């Protein structure tokens, strides 16, 4: 287990992902890349054949038509090639440290301080895959992961990242069905809150049991202020602060 201390002095424990899970995720991603390549290859071949047949059938200015189609297909090919090359970086950026393989294996890349993966570290750890891949088949990266207790490859060491097991949030049974009419009347409620807002509320439920009374009250008040600012709704007097936040969270999670 690895422990991080947040700015609110909250201790959060994460379980470091084992080498086996990371290799499995890597293989799954490699399989997805291979399938994507095969799919695109056949689409490319069929589109080339189809464009040739169409231009021949029209039998009019076939040279210009063929050139246009070839340019379009070349652009698509280059875009797809870039996608394959930056497959892992692309998904780690949009899924905050996860690729399809990592998502399936329920692991995630995060910063050493316990925060979500940021752009520059994501770029660094993916660029250093070249070094990790030396001399062949990712031998350098594998040796690095074995050599340190946090199972960091060279890219992780340079970028200041670590791979952990992803734990799903467990909501208390006694508040799962909380509903407030004031929230149900708002259309597009989910769109009022950014991903960062949702992560703040989610983090509250992941850590609130470990919070001391003063930080707990401060965070509660800040989240309630955030909800009121985004929705224009004030907390009803007969609803507890925790229930107010929970009712909103269930609608936007």
DSSP output for 188-228? TGGGGS-HHHHHHHHHHHHHGGG--HHHHHHHHHHHHHHHH
pLDDT per residue over 25-64, tens digit each?
999 999 999 998 888 888 877 777 766 666 666 655 555 6
Q: What is the pLDDT of residue 157?
A: 95
Q: Could you identify the residue written with the tokens 């750890």?
A: 125
- Shared domain for 178 and 160, answered yes or no, is no
- Shared domain for 130 and 180, answered yes or no, is no
- Shared domain for 45 and 127, answered yes or no, is yes
Q: Which among 167, 162, 156 is positioned nearest to 116, based on CA atoms?
A: 162
Q: Give me the numbers of helices (H) and strands (E) for the chain, helices first please.
A: 12, 4
- Shared domain for 151 and 226, answered yes or no, is no
- Shared domain for 225 and 121, answered yes or no, is no
Between 203 and 26, the more confident residue is 26
- Helix or strand run (H / E) with residue 57: helix 19-58
Q: Could you identify the residue written with the tokens 């992560």?
A: 199
- Shared domain for 98 and 152, answered yes or no, is yes
Q: Considering 142, 167, 192, which residue would you say is the last residue of a domain? A: 167
- Shared domain for 123 and 67, answered yes or no, is yes
Q: Considering 131, 149, 167, which residue would you say is the last residue of a domain? A: 167
Q: How far apart are CA 26 and CA 38, in angstroms?
A: 18
Q: Considering 167, 192, 225, which residue would you say is the last residue of a domain? A: 167
pTM above 0.85, yes or no: no
- Shared domain for 15 and 32, answered yes or no, is yes
224: containing domain: 173-252
**Percent of the chain predicted with pLDDT > 90:** 30
Q: What is the pLDDT of residue 214?
A: 75
For residue 182, CA distances in Å to 79, 94, 236 come to: 46, 32, 9
- Shared domain for 134 and 185, answered yes or no, is no
Q: How far apart are CA 121 and CA 111, in angstroms?
A: 8
Q: Where are the beta strands (DSSP E) in the chain?
A: 2-5, 11-14, 107-111, 161-165
Q: Which sign does the torsion angle of CA 121, 127, 133, 137 carry?
A: positive
- Shared domain for 127 and 18, answered yes or no, is yes
pLDDT per residue over 66-103, tens digit each?
666 677 778 878 888 888 889 999 999 999 899 999 99
For residue 21, CA distances in Å to 68, 105, 163 come to: 46, 7, 10
Q: What radius of gyration, in Å, describes the C-alpha atoms of the chain?
A: 25
Q: How far apart are CA 12 and CA 90, in angstroms?
A: 28
pLDDT per residue over 100-125, tens digit each?
999 999 999 988 877 788 899 999 99
Q: How far apart are CA 228 and CA 226, in angstroms?
A: 5
The total domain count for the chain is: 2
């Amino acid at each position: 287990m690895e422990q991080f201390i947040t700015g609110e002095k909250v201790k959060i424990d994460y379980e470091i992902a084992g080498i086996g899970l990371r290799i499995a995720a890597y293989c799954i991603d490699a399989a997805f890349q291979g399938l994507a390549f095969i799919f695109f290859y056949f689409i490319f071949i069929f589109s080339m054949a189809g464009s040739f047949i169409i231009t021949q059938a029209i039998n009019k200015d076939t040279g210009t038509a063929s050139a246009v189609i070839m340019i379009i297909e070349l652009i698509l090919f280059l875009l797809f090639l870039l996608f394959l090359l930056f497959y892992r970086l692309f998904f780690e950026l949009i899924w905050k440290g996860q690729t399809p393989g990592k998502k399936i294996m329920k692991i995630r890349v995060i910063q050493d301080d316990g925060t979500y993966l940021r752009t520059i570290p994501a770029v660094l750890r993916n660029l250093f895959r070249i070094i990790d891949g030396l001399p062949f088949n990712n031998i350098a990266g594998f040796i690095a992961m074995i050599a340190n207790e946090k199972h960091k490859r060279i890219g992780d060491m340079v970028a200041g990242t670590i791979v952990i097991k992803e734990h799903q949030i467990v909501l208390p049974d006694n508040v799962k069905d909380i509903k407030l009419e004031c929230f149900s009347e708002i259309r597009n409620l989910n769109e009022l809150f950014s991903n960062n807002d949702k992560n703040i509320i989610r983090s509250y439920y992941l850590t609130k049991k470990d919070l001391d009374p003063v930080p707990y009250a401060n965070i509660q008040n800040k989240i309630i202020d955030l909800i009121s600012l985004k929705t224009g709704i004030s907390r009803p007097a007969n609803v507890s602060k925790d229930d107010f936040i929970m009712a909103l969270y269930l609608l936007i999670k």
